[in-house]
Amino acid sequence: MKSNLSESTFERWFYAANAVILIVVALICLFPFYYVFVVSFASPEEVRQGGLLLFPKTWTLDAYRYLLSTNTFLKATGVSAFLAVVGTFCSLLITSMLSYGLSRKRLKGRRPMMLMILLTTLFNPGIIPGYLVVRDLGMINSIWSLIIPVLTSGWYVLLMKGFFDSIPASLEEAALIDGSNEIGVWLRIILPLSLPSLAAFGLFYAVGYWNTFFTAVLYINTPDKWPLQILLQNLLIDSSTAMGAVSDSSLQDVPSQSKKMAAIIVSTVPILLVYPFLQKHFAKGAMVGSVKE
């Protein structure tokens, strides 16, 4: 009786300590986000003085006003949103079709195709060959140059194929006997069954497209087609340090910390908001292909 009680007190203490430690760790993880958030609303002077830690003395929307003072930022957000929505749709379409095909044993030449896809996961084209291909396809300075070259990823194809492998072939045969054609089977039977994996890969793709940066630097020439990340980098990185000793930073107008942080908020929050909605599928989807019957 007594030992039981002491054990439960011990347990209670243990759980309490656990909770406290985990809450502290969680707060440490959250703090940078919170700091970015408050700095974006504080006045630049206050940040400079180093007085700001938890709560700014004055809340101001100046930094956001500055960002939205020209429509460049909105336009870039539009480009990034277009990439995230249209790109993700196209990518999921191609990836799911390709990996479904590969997962069916009756497809001949499966192994050589798989090998080729595997090769793409191991080797990347260099910057210049990639640029030449895009240029010769006439896609320089087209928004599609940010989607088509990265339409699908060999790695995701292999993962998704693993998921499709777990769907029994008899299901498909039954649908075919009932009069469905191949496309119908894929669209009506296979895709609805693989929603979790679609959600997971959709999220991966969406984040990837939202973060489009380097390809845009190379392929896009006019500022009105720039995605958000280019603007963001321009604001955040002080080119005087980025370029080493040689620079003419004197020409540059360095934005204040508040403006930088506001830019970070504007460019991360939209994609952060996608996570909660896909969380349910995401947890399932991440396990995709891990267990095979």
Partner 1 sequence: MSMKKKGMGLLAAMLASTALLSACGGNENKTSEGTGTPEPSSTAQASASAQSEQPATEISILSIFYQKEPPAAGNEILKEVEKRTNTKLNITWVTPNNFNEKVNVTLASGKLPDLTLVTDTANAAFRSMAKQGAFWDLTELIKDYPNLMKFPDVTFTNNLIEGRLYGVPRVRPTEGNAQPLIRTDWLEKLGLSMPRTMDELYAVMKAFKDNAPDGKENTVGLSGYVNQDNMGQLGFIEDAFNGTAGKYKVVDGKLADVTFEPSERQALEWLRNAYADKLIPQDFALLKHDQAKDLIFSGKAGIFPDKPNQIPGMLQELKKSGQAQADLEWVSYLEGPNGKFASKGNGHFGMFVIPRNVPEDKVKKLLAFLDYGASDEGHELASYGRPGVEHNLKDNSYELTEKAKNDPSFQFMQNIFMKFDKYANLGTGLPADKLAKERKLIDEAAEVSVTSPTNGLISETATTSGSDYSKKIQDMKTKVIMGDKKLEDWDKFVEQLKADKTYLKILEEFDAAYQARANAK
Q: Is 107 an interacting residue with respect to partner 1 (CB under 8 A)?
A: yes
Q: Is 180 an interacting residue with respect to partner 1 (CB under 8 A)?
A: no
Cβ atoms of 231 and 76 within 8 Å: the answer is yes
- Residues 10 and 17: their CA atoms lie apart, in Å, by 10
Among 154, 196, 202, 255, binds partner 1 (CB under 8 A): 255
Cβ atoms of 263 and 236 within 8 Å: the answer is yes
Closest CB to partner 1 among 85 and 243? 243
Among 251, 273, 290, 291, binds partner 1 (CB under 8 A): 251
**Between residue 208 and residue 237, which ones bind partner 1 under the rule CB under 8 A?**
214, 217-218, 221-224, 230, 233-234, 237
Among 49, 58, 124, 290, binds partner 1 (CB under 8 A): 49
Nearest to 95 by CA among 197, 185, 175, 184: 197
- φ, ψ for residue 54 (rounded to 5)? -115, -40
Closest CB to partner 1 among 186 and 282? 186
Q: Is 69 an interacting residue with respect to partner 1 (CB under 8 A)?
A: yes
Name the segment binding partner 1 (CB under 8 A); options: 2-10, 13-21, 121-129, 268-276. Answer: 121-129
Name the segment binding partner 1 (CB under 8 A); options: 79-87, 107-115, 165-173, 192-200. Answer: 107-115
- Residues 198 and 182: their CA atoms lie apart, in Å, by 19
Min separation Cβ 90 and partner 1, Å: 16
Among 29, 246, 273, 291, binds partner 1 (CB under 8 A): 246
Closest CB to partner 1 among 84 and 235? 235
CB atoms within 10 A of CB 117: 19
Give Dmax (Cα) for the chain.
82
Min separation Cβ 126 and partner 1, Å: 10
- Residues 213 and 259: their CA atoms lie apart, in Å, by 20
Q: Is 94 an interacting residue with respect to partner 1 (CB under 8 A)?
A: no
Residues that bind partner 1 (CB under 8 A): 45, 48-50, 69-70, 72, 101, 107-109, 113, 116, 127-129, 131-133, 135-136, 182, 214, 217-218, 221-224, 230, 233-234, 237-255, 257
